[in-house]
Amino acid sequence: MYVAVKGGERAIDNAHAWLAEERRGDLAVAELTLGQIREQLRLSVNRVMAEGSLYDPDLAALAIKQARGDLIEAIFLIRAYRTTLPRLGGSWPVDTAEMAIDRRISATFKDLPGGQILGPTFDYTHRLLDFRLAADGEAPVPAATATPSPDAVPHVMGLLDRDGLIEPAPVTDGTPRDLTRAPLELPADRALRLQAITRADEGFLLSLAYSTQRGYGRTHAFVGELRIGTVAVEVDIPELGFSVAIGEVELTECETVNQFTGSATQPPQFTRGYGLVFGQSERKAIAMSLVDRALRWQELGEDFVGAPAQDEEFVLSHCDNVQATGFLEHIKLPHYVDFQAELELLRRLRHDTQRMASQQNAEAAE
C-alpha cells in the first residue's frame, strides 16, 4: 500500500544539486564532452542504443554523461526520451547481405566466399593492461589498409540453404507485432521474441545463453557467421511516394547452426538461431542467437526440459533491465503503512506466544 507523503522538497533539491556536483567530479579534471563519449566509449554508446532501443549515438552519449556512466540508468533515460517521439514510420527490413563489412568470421567454414575478416576486435589481445593508454597518448599508428575485394560476402547460411542442409527461413507478409505499441502477450511469435531480446539486458541474456551451453536446454550451437558493419535504412516517404535510404546503422549479426530437425518425410537439417543487435556488440548478438534457438523448442518438436532459457514467459518477463530495475528499486521507496501493518501483526503474534508460554508455566507450577 502506498500513501502520499508530503515534505522533503528541500532535501530532494539539495540531493539533486549534490548529485550534479558529484557528476562533474574534480574541477581540476577536464569535463567530458559528448564527442569524447561518442567516439572513445563507443561500445558503451552501442549498449545504451541497443537496450534503450533507439539508434542515436549523440543521445546515448548524453545519457551516459547524465547517468554518470551507469549504463542501465542511461538506458532508462533513452527509453523515457523515446516515448516523447512521434512514430513517423517503419523501415523496410534491413538487408544484412549488403552490409558494409567491418568484421565477418565463421566458426564453421575456414575457407568461404568473402573470407574471414577480423575487423577491430579484442580477440587475440592478451588482456594485459596497456599502461601506454594511461600516459598522455600519442595518436595511434594508422591502421593498415589493403585493396578491398570487389567480391560479394554472401551469408554462410545461404551456402547451407542452397544444399538444403539447413531449415529454410520462411518469409511471411505483414507488419510484425510491436511490443512498444501493445503490451506483451504470450505466447509470442518469434518476431516478437526477437524484438524483446534484442533490447534485453546483455548480462541476463549472456547468463541464459551460457546456461544452455552448460546443459540447461542444450542446443549445440556453432557460430555459422558473425558479421559487423553498417547497413542502409530504407523508409517509404509518403509525401514522395517512393522509398529512400535515409540513414545507416551499425549492426552485429550472429547466425548459429544447431542440431537437427527432421521427420519421416523430411530429411534431417540443421536448425537456426538468430541474433541482430544495434552497434558492435558481438557478445550480445551471440547470446541472443543462442537464446532465440532455445526458445524455439516447441516449433521444432523438442522436449521442454524445464530449462530457464526454454521458458518463454520466464525469459520475456525478466529480460528487460528497465522493467526489472523499476520493480526491484521500488522497494526502497516509502512503504511505511505496509510495514506498520507487518509490525503490528508481528507484535500480536509475539504477544500471543508469550501469553501461551506464561499460561503453560503457570499450569506447570500448579
User: Which of positions 2-21 make contact with other proteins (CB under 8 A)?
Assistant: none
Instruction: Work out how close the CB of 189 gets to other proteins at its nearest, in angstroms, rounded to a whole number.
Output: 9
Contact 45, 37 (CB under 8 A): yes
Contact set for other proteins, span 189-248 (CB under 8 A): 190-192, 194-195, 198-199, 232-233, 235, 237, 239-240, 242-248
Which residue's CB is nearer to other proteins, number 125 or number 145? Answer: 145
d(CA 274, CA 283): 13
Which residue's CB is nearer to other proteins, number 84 or number 265? Answer: 84
Contact set for other proteins, span 20-59 (CB under 8 A): 49-50, 53-56, 58-59
Write the interaction track for other proteins spanning residues 89-128; mark x where CB under 8 A is met and - where it is not. xxxxxx-xx--xxxx------xx---xxxxxx--------
Give the interface segment with other proteins, choosing from 125-133, 174-182, 326-334, 344-352 (CB under 8 A).
174-182
Which one of residues 172, 185, 263, 301 is an interface residue with other proteins (CB under 8 A)? Answer: 172
Q: How many residues lie near other proteins (CB under 8 A)? A: 80
Which residue's CB is nearer to other proteins, number 204 or number 278? Answer: 278
The answer for residues whose C-beta is within 8 angstroms of residue 311's C-beta and 6 or more apart is 304
Dig out the grid coordinates for 206 from the structure. 549472456
Task: Give the strands of the sheet with 222-237, arranged side by side.
Answer: 100-105, 222-237, 242-261, 269-278
DSSP string, 180-205: TTS---SSP-HHHHHHHHHSS-HHHH
d(CA 217, CA 211): 8
Instruction: Work out how close the CB of 142 gets to other proteins at its nearest, in angstroms, rounded to a whole number.
Output: 9
Which residue's CB is nearer to other proteins, number 66 or number 91? Answer: 91
Instruction: Work out how close the CB of 278 gets to other proteins at its nearest, in angstroms, rounded to a whole number.
Output: 6
3 state SS for 225-246 = EEEEEEEEEEEEECCCCEEEEE
Which one of residues 1, 11, 29, 85 is an interface residue with other proteins (CB under 8 A)? Answer: 85
Which one of residues 255, 311, 312, 320 is an interface residue with other proteins (CB under 8 A)? Answer: 255
- Give which of 140, 156, 62 is closest to 104, Cα–Cα: 156
H or E element, residue 288: helix 282-295
Dig out the grid coordinates for 318 from the structure. 525478466
Which residue's CB is nearer to other proteins, number 41 or number 78? Answer: 78
Contact set for other proteins, span 279-338 (CB under 8 A): none
d(CA 231, CA 180): 23
Does position 249 interact with other proteins (CB under 8 A)? The reply is: yes
The sign one gets for the Cα dihedral 223, 148, 47, 93 is: negative
d(CA 49, CA 57): 7
Which residue's CB is nearer to other proteins, number 211 or number 276? Answer: 276
Widest pairwise Cα distance in the chain: 103
Backbone angles phi, psi at 365, to 5 degrees: -70, -25
When computed from its CA atoms, the radius of gyration of the chain, rounded to whole angstroms, is 27
Instruction: Work out how close the CB of 172 gets to other proteins at its nearest, in angstroms, rounded to a whole number.
Output: 5
Which residue's CB is nearer to other proteins, number 101 or number 324? Answer: 101
Which residue's CB is nearer to other proteins, number 144 or number 365? Answer: 144
Beta-strand relationship, 242-261 and 100-105: unpaired
Instruction: Work out how close the CB of 17 gets to other proteins at its nearest, in angstroms, rounded to a whole number.
Output: 29
Block residue for cell numbers 556536483: 21
Which one of residues 11, 27, 135, 146 is an interface residue with other proteins (CB under 8 A)? Answer: 146
Which one of residues 38, 47, 65, 272 is an interface residue with other proteins (CB under 8 A)? Answer: 272
Which residue's CB is nearer to other proteins, number 211 or number 258? Answer: 258
Dig out the grid coordinates for 336 from the structure. 511505511
d(CA 352, CA 354): 5
